[in-house]
Structure 1
């Protein structure tokens, strides 16, 4: 599909007024065109995140210049690329972090904010990855520099960020500690790869970690 083949309008889901899910309404919007180093994605699936619910309730404003439509992550097919794009071409399957606009048939994002979707991964599953994956990777590995053999503590181990952090830290060779609010949630943390899961309602996690690490923390 070339730029000339793209439709001029699309169906999107807009927030008609602050409120619950009932305020989400289908509307017709112009199909965005990719700018410098941007890609246009035909959306197959969009993720749902807490900021989407906050925006719908009137408690979260999109950043200046971002789409007013909700939707911060999605997966689909690249259908057009803007000037300067070198990583992607039309037909590529991607999962992407978006500045908004994911609740639509098409959305644009910077080429660096997209990841390739392997053939064995369903697009519905891929759409749920970018928000947590980018957050954990940038903070834990790029900024924090987590390395194999180090100890790593994850609070809220069964949250979206927590489940991703446990699995990535385990894959990196770290010793993973996680906190959760019930024994059933602690068991989930252990199944995901946590070496030690601590029910913070029944046990002091500081003491537990110190004991497990011989006082090193």
Structure 2
């Protein structure tokens, strides 16, 4: 009974999710009587607002492989902080196996300059302006994993400020209003002058 409820909960369609099919391969399993053919699918799922996931699935029929891959992608969704909801906060590199990926934030109007599976990732993520380059492999599995390794390492200025125990303005090097450091220094200078 609990298993059926769990399946129903996971099978309901989220209308706001963007699903991108990256690729389908025909695969073969060698058995005693010969080869048994099936299909493997790679899917990217995102909400267009900073959450994205990837998954792969195998089955005897294409629709079943896509369904399995989509469910796997929904389970692996991660949140990526975006600047102004349109680009990355900073340039980032990722690698997996022989594949290396470089992703750079871009000014407004640049668009998505990326190829293959990386374009699908950025479209599902909701990024509008980015420049990305993949080297070392053309295998979509490795490109996707390298891109996700880089995306997970992105930190917003707020996250960095919290980690360092500072204010966001201090991270950018701007003077913070209400900062009493200047007053303390002038008081210390006055005290040393009196002594």
Q: Which has the larger radius of gyration?
A: 2
TM class by smaller structure: under 0.3
Relative to its length, the structure with more strand (as a share) is 2
Relative to its length, the structure with more helix (as a share) is 2
With the length of structure 1 as denominator, give the TM-score of the two structures: 0.26
With the length of structure 2 as denominator, give the TM-score of the two structures: 0.28
